[in-house]
Amino acid sequence: MAGVPDATAAFPPRIDPSLLALSRSVLDRAADRRRDPAWLDQAWARPDTQVVVVATDRLAVSPDHARLTFVKAADAPPGERAFLGIDRDAGAGRHADGRAVFAVLLDPTDDRSGDDGFATLREAGAFLDDREAGIAVHSIGLANWHATHPRCARCGAATDVGEAGHIRRCPECSAQHFPRSDPAIIVLVTDDEDRALLGRGANWPPGRYSTLAGFVEPGESLEAAVRREVFEETGVVLSDDIRYAGSQPWPFPSSLMLGFYARAAQTEIAIDDDEITDARWFTREDLLVAAEAANVKLPGAVSISRRLIEGWYGAELPGRW
C-alpha cells in the first residue's frame, strides 16, 4: 500500500483550474460575431475553418478519444450550425480574425450511440487538450439545449434559431430564449478529525462513492444550498466554515457545478434513503485501502468531485468509475 499523505486540519487549497477537465478553454467566443450574418457566411466559407460534428451528447473524436475530429465546412453534414469562436493565435489561421470554429448539431433523431467515431464528454473530456476541451463543452451544451427546447416556454409555438445557435426566438409571441446553465453545488465535507464524508447515490452500482451535490433552489444562496443538501441527504449539520473551491461546466444536460469544502458541526449520519442509500466518514487510510481493494470506486478524472476528494487526500488515488 502506498504511503498515506499527512493529515492536516487546514482546509485544502482551491482547485487549480487547469486540473478541471471541463473548465479549460482558450478559444475566443467572439460573441459579437454571432449577430453578423455576413461575417458568419464568410467565415464558414474559409478553407481553414474547422467544424466539429455533434450528435446530441456525442462528439466526433479520434479512435483514442484524445482529439476531436474536425472537418472542413464544405464537408460538414447537414445540421444546425453553431458558431463557437475564433482562434486568436496568429499561427492558427491565415485571416486577420484568426481561424473560425463551428459545430454542426445533427438532428436528435440521428443516433450515433454505436458509432466508434463518436464519444461522450465523460469518455473523452479528460484526454482533450485545453482548446478542444472548451470546444467540446460548448458544443455539447448547445446541442443539449437545442434538443430539449424546440418550443417556446411562454406560448408553446415552435421557435427559430438565431445568433449562430445561441438564441431561439418565438415567431408567435416574440419571446427570446437563451441557453441556460443550472447552478448546482458539490461539496466535500470534513470533520474535526479531518475525515471526509462520501455518499452513494440510490441508482449507483455497489461501491460507487462521491461527494454530495444538489441543485440550487430559487432564492437560495450557494452557501445555503450547501447546508441544505448536506443535511437533507445525510443529516449532517455544517458549521459556518464553507469555502469555495472551484467550478466546472457539467452539460449533462446543462449544469454548472460549484465546488466547496465545508466543515461539519456534528457528524451523526442519517441518510435520506431517497437520493442517498449510504454515507460514510473516511480517514485517508480508510479511503486508500478501500480504493486499492476496489471496494470503493471514486469518480473519474473528468469530474470536479474527483478533484475535491484528491485535494483533501493530498495526492492521486487509485480506481475510478
Q: How far is CA 112 from CA 117, 174, 212, in A?
A: 9, 34, 32
In a domain, 55, yes or no: yes
Tell me whether residue 19 is in a domain. no
User: pLDDT digits over 211-258, tens only?
Assistant: 999 999 999 999 999 999 999 999 999 999 999 999 999 999 999 999
The band of 141, judged by pLDDT with boundaries at 50, 70 and 90, is very high
Rounded to whole angstroms, how far apart are CA atoms 307 and 257? 12
Euclidean distance between CA atoms 302 and 320, whole angstroms: 11
Which pTM does this prediction carry?
0.92
Residue 2 counted as domain residue: no
135 and 243 part of one domain: no
- The whole domain housing 169 covers 149-180
- HSE at residue 87, side-chain half, CA atoms within 13 A, is 19
Q: Is residue 219 part of a domain?
A: yes
Would 72 be classed as within a structural domain?
Answer: yes
Tally of helices (H runs) and strands (E runs) in the chain? 6, 15
Same domain, 205 and 284: yes
Share of the chain above pLDDT 90, in %: 87
Q: Tens digit of pLDDT for each residue in 26-81?
A: 999 999 999 999 999 999 999 999 999 999 899 999 999 999 999 999 999 999 99
118: confidence class by pLDDT, cuts 50, 70, 90: very high
Per-residue model confidence (pLDDT) at position 31: 96
Distance separating alpha carbons of residues 250 and 140, to the nearest angstrom: 10
Q: SS3 of 91, please?
A: helix
CATH number where 309 lies: 3.90.79.10
- For residues 84-104, give the mean pLDDT: 79
